[in-house]
Amino acid sequence: SQTIHQWPATLVQPVGSPLSLECTVEGTSNPNLYWYRQAAGRGLQLLFYSVGIGQISSEVPQNLSASRPQDRQFILSSKKLLLSDSGFYLCAWSVSTGGQPQHFGDGTRLSIL
Amino acid sequence: GESVGLHLPTLSVQEGDNSIINCAYSNSASDYFIWYKQESGKGPQFIIDIRSNMDKRQGQRVTVLLNKTVKHLSLQIAATQPGDSAVYFCAGPFGGGYNKLIFGAGTRLAVHP
């Protein structure tokens, strides 16, 4: 069966520091991969998605970037974090054909001080 | 549908009762809808999906109803249990493509013994 792993579960970072969140998927090949952010008490906002290695689509202008160095690895990065980057970051995967559900990891709670 | 709000609507039910969670959407250009359950501190968990060529789909203790005429989607949970307490989200592509799910703001389900 397919599994998705995100780490770390919780992260506290100072303003201006860099960020690297990693997500890996097991048990499937050529998945579509996604990064979302969820503000407290709100729905999910799509940040990036990828349909293949090195292919990244950005949905909102922001202080973040994403990379997909391997088929089942998706990384969310920032060179200098802002206070507004605080939130709950979720990685998800889906099969590459359309009309299939996305499956989420358990997220990273990021607090910027 | 697509809406944002700082205060989640809450549905309170007694254990054993049936629950109905509703979702209204304004964009007709979606042929696929998904329901997710999110427990505190975790990522959304896929519950059930439905395509627009169907009006009803049943799973284990859950039923999704789709009324395209009034643009309304509902999730029915039979014999609600304390473990069903969570925030429930509807989601769909809504014309943006299957990679760009738009999530509703969510409904909190509170199950009381």
Q: What is the pLDDT of residue A87?
A: 94
A41·B6 Cβ contact <8 A: yes
Give B-chain residues touching A90 at CB under 8 angstroms: 43-44
The number of C-alpha atoms within 13 Å of A92 and in the hemisphere containing its C-beta is 30
Task: Say whether pLDDT at A97 is over 90.
Answer: no
Helix, strand, coil percent content, chain A, rounded in steps of 5: 5, 55, 40
For the residues A13-35, what does the mean pLDDT come to? 96
The number of C-alpha atoms within 13 Å of A87 and in the hemisphere containing its C-beta is 18
Nearest CB to A59: which of B44, B98, B100? B100
Q: What is the pLDDT of residue B28?
A: 67
- Residue carrying structure tokens 């009762």: B17
Give A-chain residues touching B43 at CB under 8 angstroms: 6, 90, 92, 104-107
**Residue B75 to residue B70: CA distance in whole angstroms:** 16
B63-94, pLDDT tens digit by residue?
999 999 999 999 999 999 999 999 999 999 87
A34-58, pLDDT tens digit by residue?
999 998 777 899 999 999 999 999 9
Tokens matching residue A83: 């206070």
| Chain A interface, best mutation among B49, B99, B107, by max A CB count within 10 A | B99
A64-94, pLDDT tens digit by residue?
999 999 999 999 999 999 999 999 999 999 9
What average pLDDT does the structure give for chain B? 89
What average pLDDT does the structure give for chain A? 93
Q: Does A98 touch chain B (CB under 8 A)?
A: yes
Q: What is the pLDDT of residue B86?
A: 96
Q: What is the largest CA-CA distance in chain A?
A: 41
Radius of gyration of chain A (CA): 13
Residue B27 φ/ψ, nearest 5 degrees: -100, 120
Give A-chain residues touching B91 at CB under 8 angstroms: 44
